Each structure stands twice: as C-alpha cells, then as structure tokens.
Copies of this chain bind each other. A is one copy, B any other.
Amino acid sequence: MARDSGYNTKQRELIKAAVKGFGSKHFTVDELVANLHSNNINVGITTVYRSLERMAQQGMLRKFASVEGKSACWQYIESPGECSNHFHLHCKECGKLFHCECEYLDEMGGHIMEHHGFAIDASATVFLGVCEDCNKTNQHI
C-alpha cells in the first residue's frame, strides 16, 4: 500500500473522506467541491486539484481524460486492481458514464497488444457512443 509521503493535514483528510464517499462512482472536481460545501467544509480549489493529483499518483484514485471540453473525471479505487479490467462507456447524448465489466474486453486488450503492439490503458480509455435509452429516444432521427 502506498504510504503518504508528506504531512497529514486536515484538508487532505477531508478530501479523502469525501472521495471515499463517492464509492466507485466517478466524480468531477466540481461535484467534489459541491459535496464538501454541502457539509459546510471549505477547501481551496487549488488544494483539491493538488490533492487529487497526489492521490492519483499514489494509486488511490483514477483520473479520466476529459471529454469534449468537459472537466476531468476522478474515481476512487476501493480495492487495488479494481476497474483495471473494465472500460467505460460515455454516452454522447445524456453524458452518463457506464462501467462495462466484460471478459470480451480483456481479450481485446490482449489482441491489440499482440497484433498492434499497443498497450491499452483501460482505466483512461473511454468509449464514446450512444446508450440504450438515448438510442430508443433518437430512433426517428
């Protein structure tokens, strides 16, 4: 387990607690700050960014690339290795993020590594498309 290399401060504890509160659900910096505010906790946005980045480096958090100018998403890693084998489906219509746990995708990673020499970072890769619900809604278009 990665140990904290620096000091233990009140802010870090508060941020860590809030992050854990999201469980395996992904969140943005905005959502995290809103969550803190709703508990009457005020932490500088700078500190939030720096803490998240630090936690990501320690392997406690996963950072998703931003999509289409939207802000980056973060996700707490409840157990080490968790989510490393699943991909994320991001719906272009409703913006929802789906977790997709599937052996097929494991295979795919292996295939791409073997045949194309490319090591896919599943935790950072986001599939863009349209989810089931939005598909139904938009069938007439």
- A residues sitting closer than 8 Å to B (CB atoms) are 65-69, 72, 89, 91-92, 98, 100, 102, 104-105, 108, 111-112, 115-121, 124-132, 135
Bound together, the chains give a CA A121 to CA B66 distance in angstroms of 17
Contact of A111 among B72, B104, B126 (CB under 8 A): B104
The answer to whether A127 touches B105 (Cβ under 8 A) is no
Copies in the complex: 2
Q: Is the CB of B132 within 8 A of A118?
A: yes
B-side contacts of A111, CB under 8 Å: 102, 104
Q: Could you say which residues of chain B place their CB within 8 Å of the CB of A118?
A: 89, 91, 98, 100, 127, 129-132
Query: Does the CB pair B89–A116 fall under 8 Å?
Result: yes
